[in-house]
Structure 1
Amino acid sequence: MKIIAWSGPRNLSTAMMYSFGNRPDFEVMDEPFYAAYLAATGLDHPMRDAVIASQPTDPEEVAAICAAEPARHGYQKQMAHHMLPGFPMDWAEGAVHVHLIRHPARVIASYGVKRDDIAEADIGFAAQAALYDRVGGLVLDTADLRDDPAGMLARLCAAAGVPFDPAMLSWPAGGHVADGVWAAHWYNAVHRSTGFAGPEGPLPDVARDDLLRSAMPFYNAMKARALQPSDQSAS
């Protein structure tokens, strides 16, 4: 089987890739459309030249890579906003789609630590909501994941049709062989981790109220579809 995990940045997407990557029955893939996205948009992201040199920039070529059947189960970490209009999507047919969401205030605050210039397209809430409307699938709020990693991963695996493996709860520090070249800029914290961090504290204050206001309706719509923690689903 193939799981495609759609996310925006700063959303535990790398930790989730490490979680599935620590299972012996899964192969993982890290943002295969990133170089194609940068080449098509001309955006000046950190390590832009290195990213473009590290991956194919032709979206059709990337789609063929993503469509290939893995020797084991496959888990693809994909950014929803990387799927620009005109990029092929037929490669994703028949996969289990998982949409990772996080409160926009936390995303904006975390992204702002790594990059000063932020636009709505960078955090991808509108793109993710549009993608959900197109492909459907499962929604997981990463706040619930941090509150109860074992419980929420078990619920996600059951909904996706794969058995839960306790190996998903931890991974070796230092990164994964599947990391993209951009890991040197973006993955410092997760490289120090060996498992999911605990519950987050109060929401941070953010200077970009405009970004927060634009993202909240999309987040709230996705949140309403999210897998419920076990203590809520029984009520």
Structure 2
Amino acid sequence: MRIAMWSGPRNLSTAMMYAFAARGDCAVWDEPFYAAYLVRTGLTHPMRDQIVAAGATDPALVATRLTGPVPGDKPHFYQKHMCQHMVAGVPRDWMADVTNVFLIRHPARVIASFAAKYENPTLADLGIVQQADLFDRVADATGAAPIVIDSADIRADPEGMLRRLCDALGLEFTPAMLSWPAGGHPEDGIWAPVWYGAVHRSTGFAGPEGRLPDLSASHDRLAEAALPLYERLFAVRLMP
């Protein structure tokens, strides 16, 4: 099985990649389109030059690898995707050959976390508009809503929600998914030192989240713009 997990930034996506890698039967790929995204947008992200030098900048070649032989001849291939990377010119036809899952998080939490690392984020940076568009594309193509899972539900009950997710995917749940060694994963992207500090210190999922963070006026407006899109996917999420 090939699982394309679609997320925005700061959304438990790395911990989820670690959980699937810990199964032992899953190859993983961390943000395959990141280098191509930076080249096509010209954005200045932390470690931009290193990311471009280390990654695949031709999105067509990335798509071919996503549906080609699974690394290590493993039975499953978990692909951690950032929705905002799917800019014009990045192919989408390969999505018909994978199982697409959408990982969501309340926009206020995303913005508070992302803005601490990236100054003046925009709606496009959060990936929520692209996530809703990709969700609609998959739903239209398949005639059914794809799987949606909320990061807050996972943190509140990791085992219960991972069991629900595995059941929806047709995979057997294994308790190995609930923990991993501290210090990172060999398949981490080169950008890990900037973004993955907390998950590198972890050995499992963090506990339940508290109240929503307080935002500045500009960030609050950004959250309000993103909230209807989040709520639309939230309404069809896997229930706890």
Q: Deviations over 1:27-62 (max 9, x none)?
A: 100001000000000001111101101111111111
C-alpha deviation, 1:187, in angstroms:
0.3
2:67, 2:93 → 1: CA distance? 8
Which of 106, 110, 129 matches 2:109?
106
Deviation at 1:94, TM superposition (A): 2.7
Which consecutive segments of 4 or more residues in structure 1 shift more than 4 A? none
User: Residue 167 of structure 2 is aligned with which of 158, 166, 171?
Assistant: 158
TM-score where L is the length of structure 1: 0.96
Whole-angstrom distance in 1 between the partners of 2:156 and 2:69 = 33
**Alpha-carbon offset, residue 139 of structure 1:** 0.2
- Partner in structure 2 of residue 126 of structure 1: 129
Greater alpha carbon shift after TM alignment, 67-76 vs 199-208: 67-76
Closer, same or farther in 2 for the Cα pair 1:91/1:69, shift >3 Å? Answer: farther
The correspondence of residues 49-60 of structure 1 with structure 2, limited to 5 A, is 49-60=49-60
Q: In the TM superposition, what are the counterparts of 1:150-229 in structure 2 within 5 Å?
A: 150-207=159-216, 208-229=219-240
Question: Residue 116 of structure 2 aligns to a residue in which SS?
Answer: helix
Kindly state the Cα deviation for residue 155 of structure 1 after the two structures are TM-superposed: 0.3
State the one-letter code of the partner of 2:220. D
Cα RMSD after superposing both structures: 0.8
Alignment check: 8 A CA contact 2:108 2:220 kept: no
Does 2:5 align with 1:5? yes
**2:143 corresponds to:** none
Task: Quote the offset at 1:96 in angstroms.
Answer: 1.2
Structure 1 counterpart of 2:123, which letter?
E
Q: Distance in 2 between matches of 1:178 and 1:89?
A: 23
- For residue 221 of structure 1, give the secondary structure of its aligned residue in structure 2: helix
Unaligned runs of 5+ in 1: 230-235
Give the TM-score, by structure 2 length: 0.94
> How many Å separate the matches in 2 of 1:44 and 1:210?
24
Deviation at 1:84, TM superposition (A): 1.1
Deviations 1:92-114 (Å, cap 9, x if unpaired)? 22311110000001000000111
8 A Cα contact 2:38 2:52, kept in partner: yes
Task: Report the number of matched residues.
Answer: 229
For the residue of structure 1 that corresponds to 2:223, the secondary structure is: helix
Contact 2:60 2:91 in 1 (8 A): yes
Mind listing any 5+ residue stretches in structure 2 that lack a counterpart? 140-145
What is the aligned partner in structure 2 of residue 142 from structure 1? 151
Partners of 2:67 and 2:97 within 8 A in 1: no
Q: Pick the aligned partner of 1:80 from 53, 71, 83.
A: 83
SS at match of 1:93: helix
2:165 is aligned with what amino acid?
A: L
Offset, 1:90: 2.1
CA–CA separation in structure 2 for the residues paired with 1:35 and 1:95: 21
CA deviation map 1:190-216 (0-9, x unaligned) = 000000000001000111122111100
CA distance in 2, matches of 1:78, 1:69: 18
User: How far apart are the structure 2 equivalents of 1:132 and 1:18?
Assistant: 24
Identity among equivalent pairs (%): 58
